[in-house]
Each structure stands twice: as C-alpha cells, then as structure tokens.
C-alpha cells in the first residue's frame, strides 16, 4: 500500500498507522536529531511527532507527501524543544569512522567539526533546504513540497548555501 492509502486505511485499521511509523521512523528521528542534537530528546520529539500526526490525520488533505508532512511536524516540534531549552544541547554527533590512521582521523574529525559549525552558522532559510538535500537525500521537488517553497527558490537557496560552505571551508581545500 502507498502512504496515502495507509492514511485512508487508519480510520478502519490501526495497524495501517503502525506501518506508516515503521516506514518513516528513521527519517523522522533523523530530522529531529539534526535540530535538537541530542539522541534522547530526538526520540521524544519523533514519538511526539507521530502522536501529533495521528491526531491530525482527519485534517490531512494529501496536498503534500506523507513523508513531507511528517517532516514538517517533527522539525516544528524539534525547533520548539530547542527554543524551550533556550540553548542548543552540547552533545556532538558521532564522527564517521576512518581506517586511514589516527592522524588522518584527527584531521577528518576537525574538518567535520568545522563543517558542522559552518552549517550551523547558515541562516535557517538556507540551512533547511541544504540539510534536506544532503543529509536526507530528498529531491528538489520533495524539498519544495516539504518547505512549501517554489522549486526555483529551493534550487537557489541550496546553491547559496553550498557557496557559503565552500567559502567557509576554504582553509581545508
């Protein structure tokens, strides 16, 4: 069944919503984690997102993909959680493992930290489309639907974000 068919079936079969959760739980958790930067809080946000989605199913009009709709719910809840805490959690995301030796691992770790900091410095209107494209592998059209922006605006913002990152990462080139 497609996601839209599952949404329609939830009224008669609660297991249909369970299937939606199974399909999208990693995506929703990842979206929350990128905002809150705390695995435990991200799990709470993801769970709350599915609860909110379930309650809002009667209002789902199908104008956007279910995945985009869930992303919007999760990121809004994550942004609210961060704002309530008035600071970003200090926990860092784990570094990617390398097998090239400790010196290279140290350099790559420093470069990754610099990249994360550069991404964090981007304005939200540039950061959100870039993260959806590069970390969530969404198409430009999916990003357009998710953020409710024209397709050309999405392309322009991703281009500007990449240029800003390229400039911020000059010392690593």
Tokens of 51: 């609860």
Domain 1-90, CATH class in plain words? mainly alpha
Q: How many angstroms separate the CA atoms of 65 and 127, rounded? A: 21
Q: How many angstroms separate the CA atoms of 109 and 131, rounded? A: 19
Q: How many angstroms separate the CA atoms of 143 and 140, rounded? A: 5
What would the pLDDT profile of 132-168 be if each residue is shown by its tens digit? 888 887 888 888 888 888 989 988 888 888 888 888 8
Angle made by CA atoms 153, 157, 159, in degrees to the nearest 5: 120
Tokens of 72: 């919007």
Tokens of 46: 């993801």
Model pTM above 0.75? no
Give 25's Cβ-side CA count (13 Å radius): 10
Domain 100-173 fold is Arc Repressor Mutant, subunit A (1.10.10)
pLDDT at 80: 87
pLDDT at 98: 44
What would the pLDDT profile of 28-71 be if each residue is shown by its tens digit? 999 899 888 888 889 999 999 999 988 888 888 777 788 888 99
Burial of 145-155, coded b for 16+ CB within 10 Å and e otherwise, reads bbbebeeeebb
| Residues 6+ positions from 84 with CB-CB distance below 8 Å | none
What would the pLDDT profile of 66-120 be if each residue is shown by its tens digit? 888 899 899 999 988 888 775 444 444 445 444 556 776 777 777 777 788 888 8
Q: Where are the domains of the chain?
A: 1-90, 100-173
pLDDT at 104: 67
């Amino acid at each position: 069944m497609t996601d839209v068919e599952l949404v329609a079936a939830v009224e008669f079969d609660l297991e249909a919503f369970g299937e939606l959760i199974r399909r999208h739980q990693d995506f929703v958790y990842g979206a929350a984690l990128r905002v809150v930067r705390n695995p435990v809080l991200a799990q709470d946000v993801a769970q709350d997102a599915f609860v909110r989605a379930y309650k809002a199913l009667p209002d789902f009009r199908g104008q956007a993909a279910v995945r985009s709709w869930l992303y919007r719910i999760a990121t809004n809840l994550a942004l609210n959680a961060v704002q309530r805490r008035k600071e970003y959690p200090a926990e860092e995301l784990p570094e990617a493992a390398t097998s090239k030796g400790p010196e290279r691992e140290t350099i790559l770790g420093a470069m990754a930290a610099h990249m994360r900091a550069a991404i964090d410095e981007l304005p939200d209107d540039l950061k959100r489309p870039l993260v959806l494209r590069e970390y969530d592998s969404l198409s430009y059209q999916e990003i357009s639907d998710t953020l409710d922006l024209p397709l050309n605006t999405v392309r322009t913002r991703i281009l500007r974000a990449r240029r800003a990152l390229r400039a911020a990462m000059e010392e690593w080139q």
